[in-house]
Amino acid sequence: MKKQLIEQGKTALGIEFGSTRIKAVLIGFDNHTVLASGSFDWENKLEKGYWTYSLEAVWAGVQTAYAELAKAVKEQYDVELTTTGALGFSAMMHGYLPFDKDGNQLAAFRTWRNTSTEQAAVMLTEKFNFNIPQRWSIAHLYQALLNEETHVKDIAHLTTLAGYVHWKLTGEKVMGVGEASGMFPIDSQTGTYHAEMVDQFNELVPFEWNLETILPTVLSAGEAAGTLTEAGALLLDPTGTLQAGIPIAPPEGDAGTGMVATNSVAERTGNVSAGTSDFAMVVLEKELEKVHMEIDMVTTPTGKPVAMVHCNNFTSDINAWAGLFAETARAMGVKVDMGHLYTTLFEKAMEADADLGGLMNINYFSGEPITGFEEGRPLFVRMPDSRLTLANFMRTQIYSALGTLKIGMDILTKEEKVK
């Protein structure tokens, strides 16, 4: 049955560009059973003051992940993967990828992790009376303009990572509404960029271009977003086995995929995504009463308003400590299974004292806009009389990872009475 689904093209291929892994997953149309998968590990780099990934790494990564998936299909089902019924991309939201009229990259990819746009974010928030987070594309664009960066005048197309990959594989400069809401504010009534705010921003631009000409066209879930071109098929699969013509969904952000994967797209539902960063998404019944710097207003893949509490830091500090524990064990001649190590450490946290033994941790590897930190400074702090046990240490780590998220959730539940 699974072999027939693949042979008949009754499948969907989803590829996500996460912060630490690029993942490719093939599922069947019947009951969404996972048929095969592939992945590629990667890490952002701090270069010239910006957290970034090279576009070369983007293509090397997606080709490796796809090749691993295609190999699994061949080995498990004895089928060459030549087509799928549908294809879609998602990636870490926001950030800054500008191109000129000839498609040349004008500046290194500036990811969501950068906290270098506070001046622009504050000024735009005041002008729009709408919270503009530092990681949003419009904040990066305006900060580059304020910094008088020479490339800004030449921008012909501004997009995100998901939008970039989609453009290269289809030729279409489009974007799913959820992803677009991390570029510029969306009007949920019209399902596209907020017209009044677009006009307000255009007044600030001294160049020939305006937002209408450089931003991707906004599409809602289910709308046609192009098909895989022959050039795009070769970009994804350089062997030439994958054929062109596959219909492709509007590119979305990782927040959108999280909402869909957890079936949290209806009002009064929500989910938490946890990785290098962590964020909560709560689908609202109505707009928030006030503008909160801690809360981002984005949308579901169909354009419904969503309150997003986004924290730049989650697993990095825990991973660093786990790595230290693993190194200690290996130095003692003990073979370490990292999955078992994490499970042991997390379960040990259940034995901690109620006051965590007086320990405190700050898990900020990078800046954290919610609490006003421009740069990361991981800190573990204790008093001479603190009770330093493994249980207290690990629960302190976990509380630290979730502490910033709770600040935003308290605003939603206590101040805004969000259900």
pTM, 2 dp:
0.84
Q: How many CA atoms lie within 13 A of 174 on its CB side?
A: 20
Residues 402 and 280 in one domain: no
207 φ, ψ to 5°?
Answer: -105, 180
Residues 360 and 271 in one domain: no
Of 311, 341, 361, the position where a domain reaches its end is 311
The strand ranges marked E within 237-304 are 252-253, 270-274, 278-283, 296-299
Which pLDDT does position 395 carry in this prediction? 98
Q: Which residues of the chain have pLDDT under 70?
A: none
Region class of 54: left (phi > 0), else alpha (psi between -120 and 50), else beta: beta
| 302-327 core/surface letters (b: 16 or more CB in 10 A; e: else) | bbbbbbbbbbbbbbbbbeebbeebbe
Q: CB 176: neighbour CB atoms within 10 A?
A: 31
* Number of domains into which the chain is organized: 2
| Cα diameter, the chain | 67
The whole domain housing 67 covers 2-311
For residue 14, the SS3 value is: strand
Of 311, 334, 352, the position where a domain reaches its end is 311
Of 311, 331, 364, the position where a domain reaches its end is 311
Residues 296 and 326 in one domain: no
Residue type, 156: A
